[in-house]
Structure 1
Amino acid sequence: MRWKQVEQKPKVFALIFETGDEIAAELKQFAKEQGLGGSSFKAIGALSHAKLGWFNWEAKKYEPASVLNEQIELLSLIGDIALKDGEPQVHAHLVVGRKDGTAHGGHLLEAHVRPTCELILTESPAHLEKKIDPESGLALIQI
């Protein structure tokens, strides 16, 4: 992954992922290295693999919904980064398009880039922290 800071206030970064990069892991590492807490991002590109999830309310956890091991278009990736127990956590949803024109969407569990993913990340003015919500069991942003 290559990156460049394109604005100072608020901080805005352009991140360019390359073939083989796994988006969620590299984005989390980038946020940690840059000291980013509350941030939002959007991206487009293409992937060779995506694992999409959905939130199982009864089990209170994300479960795999579909796994796509083929060349797919990353039509939309949006999400946020917030601190949970002092560590940045990536929460994102994506929609991908298959060769036949069908779309699949869900919670980002894993996505491998091929050949590129162009992501714009904007830091929020105030850091956001996630805390466990007792009803859902999820780490949710607290304002």
Structure 2
Amino acid sequence: MEILKPLNNPKAFFVKIEEGEKLPEAVATAAKELDIGLAFVHCIGGFSHARIAVYEYTTSTYHYVNVKPLENHVLEVVALNGNIVCDKGDCRPHLHVAVARKPDEIYAGHLVEATVKPFIELFIIDAQAAPSEARRILSHRFTLKADIKPMEK
């Protein structure tokens, strides 16, 4: 086990992501603008669509489903959690999400992509870690080569 100790007290930021913006790109952009090395993220809000995947480790493949809301609705983001590591402006989010299409229909897994509608309320907790140490411990984030394929029915 490796433990990364913060340099200072963690800092928290709030970012409102507007309709039409894409995730995870908007999370990476916010982290870059805030000059973050390592952070934890939590979001709520809505999507007009989402691509959500599960990882098959034996083939290093993410198998995804595309989720769309009911007519005149949004996908309700029940929870979106993850972390982000940045090094020299290269920010790599790792996000997991649970979205509700309707109260008894939930989709969950790794967030591959999503379009925001009407907004996302993003909380970023900066761990105040040294970027080089964060990158060393999370080096797999920069080297993992995974395929992304549709989920077979």
Q: Which band: TM-score by shorter chain?
A: 0.7 to 0.9
**Contact kept in structure 1, 2:75 and 2:100, CA below 8 Å:** yes
Partner secondary structure for residue 81 of structure 1: strand
Match of 1:82 in 2: 85
- CA distance in structure 2 between the partners assigned to 1:59 and 1:85 by the alignment: 30
Q: How many residues align?
A: 128
- CA distance in structure 1 between the partners assigned to 2:121 and 2:89 by the alignment: 27
**Structural mapping, 1:13-28, within 5 Å:** 13-28=13-28
Match of 2:67 in 1: 68
- CA distance in structure 2 between the partners assigned to 1:55 and 1:109 by the alignment: 11
RMSD after superposition: 2.3
How far the C-alpha of 1:111 sits from its partner, in A, is 1.2
**Contact kept in structure 1, 2:46 and 2:75, CA below 8 Å:** yes
How far the C-alpha of 1:23 sits from its partner, in A, is 2.2
**Structural mapping, 1:20-99, within 5 Å:** 20-64=20-64, 66-70=65-69, 71-83=74-86, 87-99=90-102
**Contact kept in structure 2, 1:17 and 1:23, CA below 8 Å:** no
- CA distance in structure 2 between the partners assigned to 1:100 and 1:31 by the alignment: 32
- CA distance in structure 2 between the partners assigned to 1:19 and 1:112 by the alignment: 8
Question: Which stretches in structure 2 are left out of the alignment for 5+ residues?
Answer: 1-8, 146-153
Q: What percentage of residue pairs aligned between the two structures are identical?
A: 28
Question: Which stretches in structure 1 are left out of the alignment for 5+ residues?
Answer: 1-8
Partner secondary structure for residue 26 of structure 2: helix
1:131 paired with 2:139, answer yes
Moved over 2 A (4+): 83-86
**Contact kept in structure 2, 1:44 and 1:76, CA below 8 Å:** yes
Partner secondary structure for residue 98 of structure 1: strand
Bigger strand fraction: 1
The AA in structure 1 aligned to 2:85 is A
Bigger helix fraction: 2
Kindly name which structure, 1 or 2, has the bigger radius of gyration based on alpha carbons.
2
Work out which structure has the larger RCO, using CA pairs closer than 8 Å and 6 or more positions apart in sequence. Answer: 2
